[in-house]
Chain A
């Protein structure tokens, strides 16, 4: 056990830190998150990351990645968070679509899609949730009907981040409505510019529209854009979700690290009561607990290559801590907190989505109870 960087990791960290200092101007740092990250600056920064070889650090070299160990990705996330850099605009492609294509895709699909995810030439979105299929993904009703060499897709998806700027969608469809549950789904790669795709933004409680509804009306998808096998969509979707939660941990603790540092700065600037000091210390302590939980998960990931269900613990913890922390910041602001300060007001409202997006806390507790603890299924 050694929490320090190896000499190789230390060299990578130093080189990355110098590169960020040289390439990321002050005015591009410290955004409050939210819709601003979809602006041109996001694409500009993503392009720079790609050109410098920092996009897809852990992806295979033959598809444009760096073939580096997972620890390098962790260092990348820590250092970009420290610099308060904007995120790569292609987070769905990088974190979900790409890893799923690497596992289940044909060679042709890998050649066609992976490189453009890294270069941010193509932005991806995720079409999983539906009005009547949220946590219960297997109940998806978006219909994919095979006609000759193509599927014809009809239906509606919801809560789809980035869909309004996306070029491609990873779409879970029902290809056999009378078929057996878990065996009637087909996972498609859909061109968001195809005729019959309509995107309607949904405004959130923050006032911004980060996510969308997507309507599909007789959208044609060639059979070569099936990811995995017809009828195996559930298994492919599980790969996506495993990666979403499994490698997300470091991004989450890096984001939390930024907020804890801002909280400490706020406390130093404004002074604190004894009760507030206790609450602030708790946030710092739990950040360390999350950080080292991720280090342990990372070490396991390096050994096995597959993220474990323990990733659910990081997501569960981060979401609840971020909600508590952002409310504590409001508390520290006192009377000044009545005016929108441009950061914490947005962060606190946005945090309410944290326990819902990417698996609600209730579903994550089910996963832990059933798959990790081995308790009997609840349904």
Chain B
């Protein structure tokens, strides 16, 4: 049994963090960086080599989702790579891996990042990315509805994959909220001492550390079951998404509280993490819906 990232996975994670930290979080997505993501090999990370991908596993993709979450990446990576790519025909998959075209897919009645992609995968095949734009609760991750509604494709193996990706992304969000909380609690002084020396401040942050550690563990487990096409993948991914997205929401809420009034302002970045965490929690199965699935599987 070996439950740690391998050296190459760790290197990829470190590289991703460096690249993302130099650019994000940002208010707007710079779509010029999409070509760079293709060059870095991220878009085709788990695409087979014969389709122009890197031919790695979902575990490598998973560590990218975690880092993209930590950086609050606003581009359609989740939509293209986690959601659409596995359902694309080989020619289209090659274009996606090369960064030539961007894709999304319909989950329920919703299409993430509809305004940022070229085409949408539906049960009836690819359709143009045209439709009504919704006011998403996370402005950095938009949502739309297709003009010509179709059946969702995210059934079978696609759904665990999407949920595992969202769980890893949520781990990244929770991790960043924890870091911001620690930074503020260490530098902000009241009553002559850093506020982090008060247990009323430090203990909620310790709880966030606990949540992040457990969330990362269950998210990696889910990612492993997806990578291995393990029979436990559906229940593992449902469990991981339920736990990790609740952890991310709680991490942001504690960080906002630790920041006091500053954490409640539009200017501070925390509300954007909070909105992303809520989006992750709400999309492709709420925690209560996922726990109902888990209960059906274990009882």
Contact = CB atoms under 8 A, between A and B. Distances in A.
Given A289-B214, A292-B220, A375 B197 contact: yes
Contacts, number: 149
27 contacts: A1-B220, A3-B1, A272-B299, A277-B292, A280-B299, A281-B291, A285-B243, A285-B291, A285-B294, A289-B215, A289-B243, A290-B214, A291-B217, A292-B220, A293-B213, A293-B217, A295-B217, A296-B217, A298-B3, A299-B1, A299-B3, A317-B210, A317-B214, A365-B207, A375-B186, A375-B205, A376-B193
B174 interface: no
Judged by DSSP, the binding face of B is: helix
Q: Is the interface of A mostly helix, strand, loop or mixed?
A: helix
Interface in A137-174: none
The 6 closest A-B pairs by CB, nearest first: A295-B3, A369-B202, A292-B217, A281-B291, A289-B214, A375-B196
B4 A300 contact: yes
Interface of A: 1-6, 9, 71, 74, 264, 267-268, 272, 274, 277-278, 280-282, 284-286, 288-293, 295-296, 298-300, 303, 310, 313, 316-317, 362, 364-366, 368-370, 372-378
B64 to A, nearest CB: 15
Contacts of A303: 4
Contacts of A316: 210
Interface in B204-248: 205-207, 209-210, 213-218, 220-221, 224, 236, 239, 242-243
Contacts of A362: 199, 203
B150 interface: no
B198 interface: yes
A288 B221 contact: yes
B117 interface: no
B5 interface: yes
Nearest to A367: B206
Contact of A378 (B3, B178, B198, B295): B198
Contacts of B3: 1-3, 292, 295-296, 298-299
B148 interface: no
A362 B199 CA distance: 9
B214 A365 contact: no
B80 to A, nearest CB: 25
B2 interface: yes
A274 B6 CA distance: 41
Given A285-B242, A289-B217, A366-B199, A296 B298 contact: no
B37 to A, nearest CB: 24
Contacts of B182: 373-375
